[in-house]
């Protein structure tokens, strides 16, 4: 039994340092970050809110609707129906990637069956119907 206790103590003593080099912290000298106690940087990073990609914009909420919409919009983007957020121009048509996003939505539907509230179920069914219809139209337009 003492062997397990010693192993646990060794694991706790080893620790590690995570250096976040994104954003404004990248200008810091690596020595300053390394001087922090093990795990301090990881704790700091865990408390920081996720970045939204737009300066000053609040991060998006995290819920089922946001997850489902992200795959829906991804599929539309790859069908060339949603503009690129940076350029404002429609995304390049890539029907296999659009199909991949549709497949992910279908997987979510199968794996969450019986665990969604009625509103979430209607949302997912509606998104799948809409994206499938648009995929058929995009495929016809592409000559396939």
Instruction: Map out the domains of the chain as residue ranges.
Output: 2-47, 64-141
More confident residue, 41 or 8: 8
The answer to whether the beta carbons of residues 78 and 101 sit under 8 Å apart is yes
Give the separation between CA 113 and CA 31, rounded to whole angstroms. Answer: 51
Give the separation between CA 140 and CA 35, rounded to whole angstroms. Answer: 60
Give the separation between CA 103 and CA 89, rounded to whole angstroms. Answer: 25
Tell me the CA distances in angstroms from 8 to 18, 37, 66, 113, 143, one per residue in order: 21, 19, 40, 41, 62
Give the separation between CA 77 and CA 105, rounded to whole angstroms. Answer: 15
Summarised one tens digit per residue, pLDDT across range 10-28 is 444 555 556 656 654 444 4
Summarised one tens digit per residue, pLDDT across range 75-130 is 999 999 999 888 999 888 999 999 999 999 999 999 999 999 999 999 999 999 99
Q: Angle CA(76)–CA(79)–CA(85) in degrees, nearest 5? A: 60
Report whether pLDDT(29) > 80: no
């Amino acid at each position: 039994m003492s062997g397990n206790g010693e192993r646990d103590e060794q694991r706790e003593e080893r620790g590690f340092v995570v250096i976040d080099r994104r954003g404004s912290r990248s200008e810091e000298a690596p020595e300053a970050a390394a001087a922090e106690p093990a795990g301090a940087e990881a704790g700091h990073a865990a408390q920081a809110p996720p970045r939204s990609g737009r300066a000053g914009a609040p991060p998006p909420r995290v819920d089922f609707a946001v997850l489902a919409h992200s795959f829906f919009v991804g599929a539309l983007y790859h069908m060339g129906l949603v503009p690129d957020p940076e350029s404002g121009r429609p995304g390049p048509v890539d029907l296999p990637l659009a199909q991949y996003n549709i497949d992910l939505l279908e997987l979510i539907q199968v794996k969450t069956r019986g665990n969604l509230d009625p509103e979430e179920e209607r949302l997912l069914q509606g998104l799948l119907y809409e994206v499938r219809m648009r995929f058929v139209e995009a495929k016809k337009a592409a000559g396939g």
